[in-house]
Structure 1
């Protein structure tokens, strides 16, 4: 029998991104390559140009590592994405690999295995951190695999690859951060001197934006811009397309000794440093490619970027702005939840996409709103079991019947960044669902009410939130909390409330830090529960035992009591709920004073009802 004749469209359909990459690798003499979720700034959220892993695999989660060999390909993801990746990889020819925390990155070992004995391994050093590259180099040496780091595996395989983003850049109003750019540059140079460094190279986009008091729109959900910064003893150079800068901003930077140079010029500037130059870099926030560009005799000083800690400790002005922003966000949430309640009680069955649109529309009505701080997670029943689920036009649920709706959302405002998760009772949730919601709320309360010594390492308090769940032999795979920026990235460090984070001096909780608390329970195929507030670390004074701290809850939105088993709460937990609801009511009710505004009237009624005292 003659083989069927394929049309040009048939051939094109078979020419998948994965096949194109394999042809490119074979032509370059490469047996296997690594495509990480990364960019030249080691960002979490990536511009389209560096979303190669998504282009190749179809998996759109925010973290994961793709390993591609001539005959096999593997996607390594952590427990947050196991279920999502399993769905999205179907029919792709890419195997799902479940990564577990450990000293050795399993994807790197897999890379050498797929390359085979003597096979050349490739990775782009411009999107890999120095510690990861050093680990890969050691593996390749031990297994006899040549390693190339001078090639971007995607460069010759991705037709129509997006270019560099070039959104507008704006300066923050004077005094918005509570200190001026000159003050921050002076503080930074003092810390450089403490490290014995004359130069400091910064690639982390949020740190550059914070230090310079500028904001951009190059990265989805994050008000940052593509740039590198080289700070010297006197002046500094910002590597960015100068034409993107408003004239007044360029002039202001120049007046403070900050020169502009092309974005692509950072490597050459590092190569041109004087022999023996002492350079401070953060190995976890700087690509290996930039470190390799330094002169061989450069004196490398490694440590956490000073800006990371300076940025994490919010000034009084920033903290005050965040509190005002929380009121605006709370108003938007009250309006949204009041409307959602009316829809559900009226028999409507909105979709998860409608939830996303509705909550974004409510925030858009608030002053200072810029955009979402991440993709809204609206997940009904079984979809809630995927911690980072995002509904799409092709795959989403309709909210009807009985169960739990998980809504994790946030906003970027000119006064701060928000991140909140709430559970909504749809119809009549089952007893097991309400029990899980109660346990998660108890976990949140346990950590929210904690008092602890000044400088306690953030990972050390993770167990406080998990303890109520551990008593029931339940756990969750993600961290309990992450830092949150001030009108910057919704995820920031150096603090991380996670058993998997390193408990070192840089992870200490200090006054002014804003951190999420978001324990959860996930039952695959059934439902998921997560409740999240943002907390501000505050000073509680000093006594004979030392200096102590506590948390101030910033988020202003009621807890849905219909999701709870009230009889399982202790008296102290009930008091916390009542006190929290009283705070929410006091902060938000004045914002709904207009009797002529139907939306305000409905939100006010909802707020009064939802902040009622707990009756058992």
Structure 2
């Protein structure tokens, strides 16, 4: 079926069910950012493959909302489908809620699969449109998607305390302390990375995210983990039993929650609406595990630094190979990404990529989250630039790094843009700031050199990174304006955040340079506690497009010191020829 056929099939079902509008998020039962194939109904229906986007289909039109990272990609993939692109946060573009309010009348029916829509979203629509009937029990894809993939059934495993740095029992005790503070009898936890962190378990139920499909109900003397127990080996099942964690079937959480009396603490922004509808009394708060997870312990920080050395070895070898091989070998965007993945797989304790590698050549790099396909894949030439955003998950930790490699001659304009991106990245790396700051206080450091040129990038500057977990993690981030209904967390020592300003010129080029930073204490005096960042990404930044005379002395000194550190940490893992090239790529300027 083509896109129009799929939309017609959906509308026929809507007419039969007397539905006026059907809402389709990009989500699973756990509000995950990346989802398994079973949950990719929006991508199947629309043809838009970006990881972020929601749809509303009425009997007469279809609209898709996505953010600035995907505007160019969405325009290309939605062309000719009859689906209208709604560019989120652009002037004159209604939000999903505004659109629904405008298009639905009294007694119209808005339907969705409530397991994939948060309680907060449903509550907002109930308050905004009290005259509209909301139906939460319809999963249309079970009926219109003939070859829908099955739910994942990958094996799971437990992390040792040597890898996690904190025992499951200690984490449960901390959660129960939070429950006491909020006078909660139970805590319902549904977000997969929080569950993985709390129970020190990892799996492979979502591509690039080592998580396990599960739910948990926790009281002061009972823990129920709803999961397919066949995912675990006998030793893991024995560990849970020994520590009084009862394993129950995955879908049993829906019947169990109805029987729970007392106050249930949950995060209404993340728990699905079907579950909350079954609760008798709730306390709606952020999950305490989200902040606990974001502040890494010393074991996690030490292991993550080690993961970045492994990752830096792979990226450095890739850079050495790429800049030489492009002169005489046939290399494409896809084969370059495959080469980098192979180099990562050579590293000890590599588990999987932390997200789909973005390898965009020339104008393809202007699509922030470009993913090469057989149709779009192009050959690299000894000219222009290749942007590579990639990462790996190791038993030591999770990495996220972007480098824009210069393959040959580039224009003066590109050099100015590249240098401005570098300046912003360096300024944020060098930041010293009072405790109490959030990302909005810091964003101008990275974005400032670009704003001075009248350029911006339509995305945040940085995000948290999980430990052997999701590559995108909150509650902290770095961006210039607040997101609706979202409060960014204050930076705390131990938080990891990315630093990734960029320039994206449609039809021409894209540039991004990204390192990861650990938040650390700098000093405490009469003015308060000052924090700073430690750079943990260890790979050369291509100097071939840098206009050195545009760097300040402090920026140049920081860059040179960083490159000296890269050479010291990475060179022991290279052969003599590679060491010589790394020495050149990390030269002082």
What band does the TM-score fall into relative to the shorter chain?
A: over 0.9
For 1:167, the equivalent position in structure 2 comes to 154
Q: Cα deviations across residues 30-51 of structure 1 (Å, max 9, x unaligned)?
A: 1220111111100000011111
For 2:250, the equivalent position in structure 1 comes to 263
> Which residue among 81, 90, 93 is the counterpart of 1:92?
81
> Which residue among 179, 182, 187 is the counterpart of 2:174?
187
Distance 1:481 1:156 in 2: 40
Deviation at 1:86, TM superposition (A): 0.7
Distance 1:72 1:25 in 2: 13
Q: Which moved more, 1:186-195 or 1:451-460?
A: 451-460
Q: Does 1:318 align with 2:300?
A: yes
Deviation at 1:305, TM superposition (A): 0.7
Distance 2:98 2:127 in 1: 10
Q: Does 1:249 align with 2:236?
A: yes
The answer to whether the Cα contact below 8 Å between 1:514 and 1:535 also exists between their aligned partners in 2 is yes
Q: Does 1:513 align with 2:502?
A: no
Distance 1:122 1:495 in 2: 33
For 2:274, the equivalent position in structure 1 comes to 289
For 1:439, the equivalent position in structure 2 comes to 420
Distance 2:124 2:436 in 1: 31
SS of 2:144 mapped into structure 1: coil
Aligned positions of 1:493-572 closer than 5 A: 493-501=474-482, 507-572=489-554
Please give the TM-score of this superposition, normalised by the length of structure 1: 0.92
Distance 1:286 1:428 in 2: 51
Distance 1:551 1:409 in 2: 22
For 2:431, the equivalent position in structure 1 comes to 450
Gaps of 5+ in 1: 1-11, 593-599
Deviation at 1:102, TM superposition (A): 9.6
SS of 1:412 mapped into structure 2: strand
Deviation at 1:501, TM superposition (A): 3.4
Q: Which moved more, 1:327-336 or 1:98-107?
A: 98-107
For 2:385, the equivalent position in structure 1 comes to 404
Aligned positions of 1:193-592 closer than 5 A: 193-274=180-261, 277-295=262-280, 298=281, 300-345=282-327, 347-501=328-482, 507-592=489-574
Q: Cα deviations across residues 499-548 of structure 1 (Å, max 9, x unaligned)?
A: 33369876111011110011111111111111100000011131111111
The answer to whether the Cα contact below 8 Å between 1:57 and 1:89 also exists between their aligned partners in 2 is yes
Q: Which moved more, 1:457-466 or 1:575-584?
A: 457-466
Deviation at 1:426, TM superposition (A): 1.8
Q: Which moved more, 1:418-427 or 1:284-293?
A: 284-293
Distance 2:92 2:263 in 1: 30
The answer to whether the Cα contact below 8 Å between 2:87 and 2:93 also exists between their aligned partners in 1 is no
Distance 1:468 1:30, change over 3 A: same
Distance 1:526 1:294, change over 3 A: same
Deviation at 1:432, TM superposition (A): 0.4
For 2:585, the equivalent position in structure 1 comes to 610
The answer to whether the Cα contact below 8 Å between 1:68 and 1:114 also exists between their aligned partners in 2 is no
Gaps of 5+ in 2: none
Distance 1:13 1:578, change over 3 A: closer
Distance 2:45 2:488 in 1: 36
Q: Does 1:145 align with 2:159?
A: no
Q: Cα deviations across residues 332-388 of structure 1 (Å, max 9, x unaligned)?
A: 11111111112123x334111011101000001010111110000001111111111
Distance 1:101 1:205 in 2: 31
The answer to whether the Cα contact below 8 Å between 2:3 and 2:46 also exists between their aligned partners in 1 is no
> Which residue among 104, 109, 118 is the counterpart of 1:120?
109
SS of 1:378 mapped into structure 2: strand
Q: Cα deviations across residues 3-37 of structure 1 (Å, max 9, x unaligned)?
A: xxxxxxxxx66983222211111111112201111
> Which residue among 35, 58, 69 is the counterpart of 1:46?
35
Deviation at 1:245, TM superposition (A): 1.7
SS of 1:166 mapped into structure 2: coil
The answer to whether the Cα contact below 8 Å between 1:68 and 1:111 also exists between their aligned partners in 2 is no
The answer to whether the Cα contact below 8 Å between 2:86 and 2:93 also exists between their aligned partners in 1 is no
Q: Cα deviations across residues 194-218 of structure 1 (Å, max 9, x unaligned)?
A: 1221211111101101111110000
| CA RMSD in angstroms, aligned pairs only | 1.9
The answer to whether the Cα contact below 8 Å between 1:122 and 1:153 also exists between their aligned partners in 2 is no
Distance 2:408 2:43 in 1: 37
Please give the TM-score of this superposition, normalised by the length of structure 2: 0.96
Distance 2:161 2:79 in 1: 52
Aligned residues: 588
SS of 2:139 mapped into structure 1: coil
Distance 2:98 2:41 in 1: 21
The answer to whether the Cα contact below 8 Å between 1:32 and 1:112 also exists between their aligned partners in 2 is no
The answer to whether the Cα contact below 8 Å between 1:457 and 1:504 also exists between their aligned partners in 2 is no
Distance 1:118 1:90 in 2: 33
SS of 2:404 mapped into structure 1: strand
Q: Which moved more, 1:444-453 or 1:336-345?
A: 336-345
Q: Which moved more, 1:32-41 or 1:466-475?
A: 466-475
SS of 1:417 mapped into structure 2: coil
For 1:3, the equivalent position in structure 2 comes to none
Distance 1:40 1:395, change over 3 A: same
Deviation at 1:154, TM superposition (A): 2.3
Q: Cα deviations across residues 421-461 of structure 1 (Å, max 9, x unaligned)?
A: 00111211110001101001111111110011123222321
SS of 2:129 mapped into structure 1: helix
Deviation at 1:103, TM superposition (A): 13
Distance 1:289 1:14, change over 3 A: closer
Q: Which moved more, 1:280-289 or 1:445-454?
A: 280-289
Distance 1:259 1:515, change over 3 A: same
Q: Which moved more, 1:564-573 or 1:37-46?
A: 564-573
